[in-house]
Chain A
Amino acid sequence: MSPTDQKLLTVRGLQKSFGANQVLTSVDLTVARGTVLALIGPSGSGKTTVLRCLNGLEIADGGTISIVGADDSRHAPVTIDFAAAHGTRAGVPKKALTNLRDQSAMVFQHYNLFPHKTVLENVMEGPVVVQRRDRAEVEAEALALLERVGLSDKRDSYPFELSGGQQQRVGIVRALALRPTLLLFDEPTSALDPELVGDVLRLIKELAAEGWTMVIVTHELEFAREVATEVAFVDGGTIVEHGDPKEMLRNPKHERTRQFLHRLLFPF
């Protein structure tokens, strides 16, 4: 599926500081439905912070985030003006923050599965406890999702009994089970042993083919080239260059992008 014209996510002038450290200077993004956006950039450039702001884990100091996404009983379009909120959690209307969170689901670099819950419980926790959906229906859906990632035999295992690759696939299933409109991935394979990376990337590629809208922070350039429909280069808390992956990764316009890609391709 290719991206449509319909904007799902719009970010304007997003700013975020930690104390005196201004991490996001001004981030602008538009993501159309069906887009797979790869965020690349040096370590410390603010990629994770962008994702965390989108998911409401971090409250931006300025700028706006707007997610149209779905509009149904579980999702409502939301726009938050962070300048008006003075950068505090209390400044953002609670309802708006809830709506923002409900639109997206995040897959973490270190999986962050709940160690005291089984695989199935990890997946069902959000839909059953938070979204109050019917338990039997959620269980059927969770099992189908686990089946599709090849982990139905692990339903009653605890996370520590799984390999990193298996844990990350559960992390992805946990995100999918929330029925978000936007999937956020923060370096989903960077904590994995090299031989386990492929399974996870393949799964994300399948999700892309199904038309999921995704923002993926990644250092896997080959993957970005093949799966992403757009790529954005983040440096110094802003988006320096943004474009078609095949074009931009081969022929970057900005010097900083060029240097970054060169360092990634020729690390020594």
Chain B
Amino acid sequence: MTDSTWQLLLDSLWPMIHGAITGTIPLALSSFAIGLVLALALALMRLSRRRWLSSIARVYISLVRGTPLLVQLFVIFYGLPSLGVVIDPWPSAIIAFSINVGGYAAEVIRAAILSVPKGQWEAAYMIGMSHRRALTRIILPQAARVSVPPLSNTFISLVKDTSLASLILVTELFREAQQVAAFSGQFMALYLEAALLYWVICLVLSSGQGVLEKRLDRYVAH
């Protein structure tokens, strides 16, 4: 590699980090937050005794998990305008990623709720709790502990998937890399640099996951 390549990598480092800080990370965080709320609602619908609620959730989850994220993104950004619905790149990306996280995390949360022993519901009812209170105060805190590892994986996948937003013109880490690459012709070097940055972010997130799991560990028997 030549000195000029090194210089290019160094010069492009800040725009990429800037893209991560102003694009990748907020995009991932906001989509994840919205997606989790959606997922909790879907998981509860799936568990509902009302057939129609559970069916709606089942179809939604199946649809989201059975279609590519890129297609979902394109339908919202490039497809909806033909129906007269025009949404800016950022909100389009957040909507698509939230919908996607909602579908995947719903199954995680549902499984976590089901993994809490039946005796916990009974003890909650025994002390006089309503269904809703038993859920929020007794079942969900225990389900949350169980879902931390799988949801962390969902989040880490999401961080990487946000690179797809570059295809609907959202300025984030990967789009910065693409722009410098196109301009300089140094595709290999710049895309490897982008890969390295994603990797660093994921390493940080994985260690954060470890810390979180340890903190929540007191909740469960060994």
Contacts of B222 in A (CB 8 A): 160
Instruction: Flag whether A7 is at the interface (Cβ < 8 A).
Output: no
Give the shortest distance, in Å, between B118 (CB) and chain A (any CB): 9
Q: Is A112 a contact partner of B119 (Cβ separation < 8 A)?
A: yes
| Given A110-B119, A112-B122, A115-B142, A130-B127 contact (CB < 8 Å) | yes
Contacts of A126 in B (CB 8 A): 127-129
Instruction: Flag whether B51 is at the interface (Cβ < 8 A).
Output: no
Q: Is B138 a contact partner of A102 (Cβ separation < 8 A)?
A: no
Q: Is A131 a contact partner of B128 (Cβ separation < 8 A)?
A: yes
Instruction: Flag whether A223 is at the interface (Cβ < 8 A).
Output: no
Q: Is B127 a contact partner of A178 (Cβ separation < 8 A)?
A: yes
Instruction: Flag whether B204 is at the interface (Cβ < 8 A).
Output: no
Chain A residue at minimum C-beta to C-beta distance from B216: A116
A258–B133 Cα distance when bound, in Å, is: 46
A114–B220 Cα distance when bound, in Å, is: 10
Q: Is A105 a contact partner of B126 (Cβ separation < 8 A)?
A: yes
Q: Is A114 a contact partner of B138 (Cβ separation < 8 A)?
A: yes
Instruction: Flag whether B160 is at the interface (Cβ < 8 A).
Output: no
Instruction: Flag whether B137 is at the interface (Cβ < 8 A).
Output: yes
Q: Which range contains the number of B residues in contact with the other chain? A: 20 to 34
A56–B133 Cα distance when bound, in Å, is: 17
Q: Is B125 a contact partner of A108 (Cβ separation < 8 A)?
A: no
Contacts of B128 in A (CB 8 A): 98, 101-102, 126, 130-131, 178
Q: Is B123 a contact partner of A108 (Cβ separation < 8 A)?
A: yes
Across the interface, B129 reaches (CB within 8 A) one of A110, A130, A175, namely A130
Q: Is B133 a contact partner of A158 (Cβ separation < 8 A)?
A: no
Chain A residue at minimum C-beta to C-beta distance from B129: A130
Instruction: Flag whether B52 is at the interface (Cβ < 8 A).
Output: no
A175–B142 Cα distance when bound, in Å, is: 22
Q: List which A28-56 residues lie within 8 A (CB) of chain B.
A: 55-56
Q: Is B127 a contact partner of A112 (Cβ separation < 8 A)?
A: no
| Given A55-B126, A130-B127, A160-B145 contact (CB < 8 Å) | no
Q: Is B142 a contact partner of A116 (Cβ separation < 8 A)?
A: yes
Chain A residue at minimum C-beta to C-beta distance from B126: A106
A125–B145 Cα distance when bound, in Å, is: 20
A115–B217 Cα distance when bound, in Å, is: 11
Instruction: Flag whether A57 is at the interface (Cβ < 8 A).
Output: yes
Contacts of A113 in B (CB 8 A): 123
Q: Is B127 a contact partner of A160 (Cβ separation < 8 A)?
A: no
Instruction: Flag whether B50 is at the interface (Cβ < 8 A).
Output: no
Contacts of B125 in A (CB 8 A): 56-57, 101
A115–B62 Cα distance when bound, in Å, is: 34
Instruction: Flag whether A136 is at the interface (Cβ < 8 A).
Output: no
User: Contact string, A92-124, partner B, CB cutoff 8 A, digits 1/0?
Assistant: 000000100110011010101111100000000
Chain B residue at minimum C-beta to C-beta distance from A159: B221
A57–B218 Cα distance when bound, in Å, is: 29
Instruction: Flag whether B141 is at the interface (Cβ < 8 A).
Output: yes
| Given A101-B125, A114-B123, A125-B221 contact (CB < 8 Å) | no
Instruction: Flag whether A1 is at the interface (Cβ < 8 A).
Output: no
Give the shortest distance, in Å, between A186 (CB) and chain B (any CB): 10
Give the shortest distance, in Å, between B127 (CB) and chain A (any CB): 3
Contacts of B126 in A (CB 8 A): 55, 57, 101, 105-106, 108, 112, 175
Q: Is B123 a contact partner of A115 (Cβ separation < 8 A)?
A: no
User: Contact string, B132-160, partner A, CB cutoff 8 A, digits 1/0?
Assistant: 01000110011001000000000000000
Contacts of B129 in A (CB 8 A): 126, 129-130
- The 10 A-B residue pairs with the shortest CB-CB distance, nearest first, are A126-B127, A160-B221, A112-B123, A112-B119, A130-B128, A116-B219, A106-B126, A116-B141, A57-B122, A116-B142
A contact residues vs B (CB 8 Å cutoff): 55-57, 98, 101-102, 105-106, 108, 110, 112-116, 125-126, 129-131, 158-160, 174-175, 178
Query: What are 25 A-B contacts defined by CB distance under 8 Å?
Result: A55-B126, A56-B125, A102-B128, A108-B123, A112-B119, A112-B122, A112-B126, A113-B123, A114-B123, A115-B219, A115-B221, A116-B141, A116-B219, A125-B127, A125-B137, A126-B127, A129-B137, A130-B127, A130-B128, A130-B129, A130-B133, A158-B218, A158-B219, A159-B221, A178-B128
B contact residues vs A (CB 8 Å cutoff): 117, 119-120, 122-129, 133, 137-138, 141-142, 145, 218-222
Using A101-B126, A112-B120 as known contacts, list a sample of 13 further A-B pairs with CB atoms less than 8 Å apart, ordered by residue number in A. Answer: A101-B128, A102-B128, A106-B126, A110-B119, A114-B120, A114-B138, A125-B127, A126-B129, A129-B129, A129-B133, A130-B127, A130-B128, A158-B219
